[in-house]
Structure 1
Amino acid sequence: MATRDQLYAKFGITAEAAQLFETELGTLLLCARGLESGWHVIPDGESARDVLREVDRSTLGGLLSKLKRYVDFDENLSARFASALAARNRLNHGFYERHNFSIQTDEGRDEMLADLETLHGELFTAWQLAGAMTSMVSNIIVRERERGGPPT
């Protein structure tokens, strides 16, 4: 039987995964824009700050839309990220309201915890995928910088 404390802790852990996913997408967008603009060859802090401000003002859905302009997602990855966006929205926009009075009973808390487990799984997987993509782009940037610029 799930306790309220366990439920609240799982909600927090799930919210953390959602924020890390969003942060990773923002970092990936910043990397992609920097690579496209050649900031690894000729630094442009002002433009990078402008992009960072744009990232910070964006919603998760907005970040995904902007990122698709620079990164080609296959159908599977697109579906996973869309599912993670839906999971984040279910978490942040009415999780407790949808479960209504479930928190009052042992069975209800167990159902809520199971829902959070599912949401966390989707968000954690999306964060890991986005993180792997960011690592790959970062490695490309480092290699190109070491070579003195983009390949000719």
Structure 2
Amino acid sequence: MATREELYAKFGITAEAGQLFETELGTLILCSQALEHGWHVAPDGEKARAALDEIDRSTLGRLLNTLKGRVHLEGELEKKFASALKARNRLNHGFYERHNFKIQTDEGRDAMMIDLEALHEELFQAWQIVSAITSLVSEIMLHGADRTP
């Protein structure tokens, strides 16, 4: 039986996974812009800062749309990222409201933990995927390779 403290801790861990996914998407977008503009060869701090500021002002949904405009996403990858966006929105926009008074009982808290586990898994997997892609793009930038990941 989950305690309130365990529930709150799991909520925080799940929110962290969502933020890591969002941050990594921003990093991937910035890397793609750097490749496009050659900032990895001839740095342009002013334009890179403007790009980063735009990324920082973006919602997760907007970041995903921006990424789709820069990188061809299809099939399971596109579905995974769309599902992660829905998971993050379910977490951040009404998780406690949807569960209403469940926090008051042992069974209710257990049900909330099951929901948080599923949300965490969804967000964690999406973060791991985009992190792997960012690592590949970074490697290409660092080594100047002409290969496609």
TM-score (norm 2): 0.96
Distance 1:124 1:40 in 2: 29
Unaligned runs of 5+ in 1: none
Name which of structure 1's ranges 51-60 and 70-79 shifts more when overlaid on structure 2.
Answer: 70-79
Structure 2 equivalent of residue 19 of structure 1: 19
Structure 2 equivalent of residue 143 of structure 1: 143
Query: Deviation of residue 28 (structure 1)?
Result: 0.2
Q: CA RMSD in A?
A: 1.1
In the alignment, is residue 70 of structure 1 matched against residue 78 of structure 2? Answer: no
Unaligned runs of 5+ in 2: none
Give the fraction of aligned pairs with identical amino acids, expressed as a percent: 67
In the alignment, is residue 110 of structure 1 matched against residue 117 of structure 2? Answer: no
How many equivalent pairs are there?
147
Name which of structure 1's ranges 87-96 and 67-76 shifts more when overlaid on structure 2.
Answer: 67-76
Distance 2:60 2:119 in 1: 16
TM-score (norm 1): 0.94
Runs of 4+ in 1 over 6 A off after TM superposition: none
Structure 2 equivalent of residue 91 of structure 1: 91
Structure 1 equivalent of residue 122 of structure 2: 122
Q: SS of the counterpart of 2:42?
A: coil
Q: SS of the counterpart of 1:88?
A: helix
Query: Deviation of residue 70 (structure 1)?
Result: 1.1
